Structure 1
Amino acid sequence: MPPPFIPLQLMPQQVNVSTEDDWTGTSDPRARKKMQDRIHQRIRRQRMKGISRPPRMPNPQSFFDEHQLSTATSFSGDFIEVEPLSIYSFTACEPESERTERFIIHFSTRVHADFTNGSPRADMLLNLVQFNTTRALVMNARIMNITSELMLPDARSRLPCHAIEGAATIPSVPSSLQPTHLQLTISHHPWVDILPLPEIRDNILRRDENSYDKKALCRDLRGFQDVANGLGGMIVWGDPSDSEAWEVTEAFASKWPWVIQDCSRLLESTRHWRSIRGES
């Protein structure tokens, strides 16, 4: 039996806005801020007029950037059937591989087709959230130039070597992914480096690697947590490298409290997204 479908409401940039106003995936901070301000002004005017809109199902374009959608729609239905969709096989362990890219296009194609035809499956809608979080980790791994070889079980992060060479920052890497002092001084697996929340990275590095189940943490973070009802893991609503686009679920917070300890930015962004959905 597929996991129960948890309805997700549209994010603010997708309510009564044109395509050019949708800031999801926009990496340029000035352009994103300009779009957000325009949308917030519109929402403020609507509230003053007492306008309220019923929640709607998520548009797949909120999860995929324009390039991925245009690439996905260029494939024929024959390609869709070449490999069966299995979200469980999609991980961030091979960020630069052709197989990973094919799956991203493959999954995007199917979801886009389902939404276009008005027949989204309940399991696909839940898998979309899991897919988006994993894809975010893949994108961050690419930003950090982390390859499949560096994601092997016994791999070690190269960041401590940067510290030895006197490089404390990495050019062209967003501030949220810039290494912390602990990342530069403690030997660790590179998967920690792709999380866009410095507090979480440091919380993980302060723990003995043998004191917790790393596979379980990674699985739960990606949304494959065993939850009686509701969503588990993290939810990503925008730019993967933007910490304000990440939301933590109650299930993950309850199981892994030490991971998110003192992570005020994550808690603030979580409250933000939940309030938009009308959740306390």
Structure 2
Amino acid sequence: MNLLDGYGMDTITMAGTLEAKLAAMKGAGFSQVMLMARDLVTHPGGVDAAVQAVRASGMRPTGFQVLRDFEGLSGHLHSYKLDIAKAMLEMCAATGSKVLLACSSTSRHATQDLDQIAADLKKLAMLAVPLGIKVAYEALSWGRTVNEFPTSWDVVCRADCPNLGIGIDSFHIFAAKTPLDAIEELDPSKIFLVQLSDFMWQETPTFEERMTTARTFRVFPGEGVHSEQLADLVLRLDRIGYRGDYSFEVFNDDYQQLPLATVAERARKSATWLHQDVLHKSAPLPAWTRAH
């Protein structure tokens, strides 16, 4: 068993073709990948060729992202977003992904009524049922109404739909300075995705600063200034019984300019830190990782 099976990388972290990214991840020992819609629609061979590349790699999709600004709309905007959601779900299913990530709305056109937000997300989840897909609802730290994970959990509880759960993103927790005690209130079976990353400064006081940092300068777990909090987050999730995947969602302009193998090696070191130093797993990592 590859003990990195519980950890994966995000294609957004690397430059290059989809095939090259998958090969670099697999070469570093990862067996899963978080895919983005653009991986499919920008592939030179089209969506079908991208799907085939994922399948040929043998990599398991951690999930598929990202549906934005879906909930809380009305009239023609709601109908438009339903069409977008259906197309996203079809691509998600084609890749074999079992989780679609939906981020909390930033739209000023969206209602702030949590019951309506929950109703819309339930509708999305029902669309996903025939495809065997779960919807992970993630609180963006610059979301208009839902910008911390306790609120996204509240919305998921209101919706009360088996295949609707939450997505946890460490960046947004640290950026919003959300107390980690709220982790204890979560049902681990309803955490469908955990995305991990860090950054190099303590404060992101404005939404604009959060967005800029999130989209250009995240780093891998263990590389930033929030390592202690990140370790605390992972340990709390482990204590409540979370046994799902950890995906490294690292948007970083510098990493986009490095060789793919170099970036994948940094991710492998991050997974090793989490596995050995944070979670203190007793089983050794595979021999190929110890050789590095």
Choose between structure 1 and 2: higher strand proportion: 2
TM-score, normalized by length of structure 2? 0.31
TM-score, normalized by length of structure 1? 0.32
